[in-house]
Amino acid sequence: MAKSSVAVLGLGIMGGGVAARLLSAGFPLSVYNRNRERTAKFADAGALVAASPREAAARAEIVISMVADDAASRSVWLGADGALAGVSPGSLLLESSTLSVDWVRELGAAAAQKKCDFLDAPVTGSKPHAATGELFFMVGGSVAGFARARDVLSVLGREALHLGPNGSGALVKLINNFVCGVQAASFAEAISLVNASGLDREKCISVLANSALASPLIKRMLTSMAADDFTPNFPLKLMTKDIGYAIQEAAKCGVPLQTAAPALEVFKQAVKEGLGDLDFSAVVKSLKK
């Protein structure tokens, strides 16, 4: 069977990996990115470069968006040049950005008016997982829409889990990311304490790296620290945004996230210090002093 035509909106760290993966798997692909310079390598690999999200969506049976935040998502989906203006009835739309639940539900309602299946399908994983098809998709939407998405999701991820109606995937992703942010902020504080205490830093790090604390996230932070390389796989400014969204969503449920609030302040300070475009692990640099 011929593969479905796909459009990818947003060619950043994650969207670029997804687009490359789809091309390598033989999917007919259209791409859109606000900064056209990022589209060149995809054009060279056979993708059609669209001048607008509307044009990209008009060429596709499946549309995938992977952008930074609510504002960027609104920009690519809505308006005269937005993707929803170009989709055909019956198209399958996947919003794989990390967004607020309210916006995801609003977008789902707008997609329904266009008679399209809509899934919020954010991911866990980072740049290397996107490139190798090892993402984990957390999906909200209809059972029928989820079934339709399986072919493309199986190429992009190691697993896709249907969590419930629209908004379910978005909320679970925010829960996941706020816990990651709290862990990263507390580890950065721990390293700051080690540095200030007069303890042998390398021996302390060896203890932490071989204790119950040493989750994959902490190991990644340790690797970045050891190499003094904070090239972004997941930018610090996006972790900051995600913790903020999680706090807002929890407040609507009457749950104060008492560990997330101070973690957010730690990340906000790191952004103020100019670290926002580095990997989230660069939060250790903010507390280095």
Residues with a known catalytic role: 173
Phi, psi of 273 (to 5 degrees): -85, 5
- Listed as own residue / partner, the contacts of 249-257 with beta carbons closer than 8 Å and 24 or more positions apart are 249/100, 249/101, 249/171, 249/174, 257/178
Angle (CA) 243-287-256 rounded to 5° is: 30
DSSP, collapsed to helix, strand or coil, labels residue 54 as helix
Q: Which residues pair with 48 in a beta bridge?
A: 30
Residue 91's identity, in one-letter code, is: S
The owner of tokens 């991820």 is: 157
Q: Pick from 263, 235, 233: which is nearest to 128 by CA?
A: 233
Residue 286's identity, in one-letter code, is: S
Distance (Å, rounded) from C-alpha 204 to C-alpha 191? 9
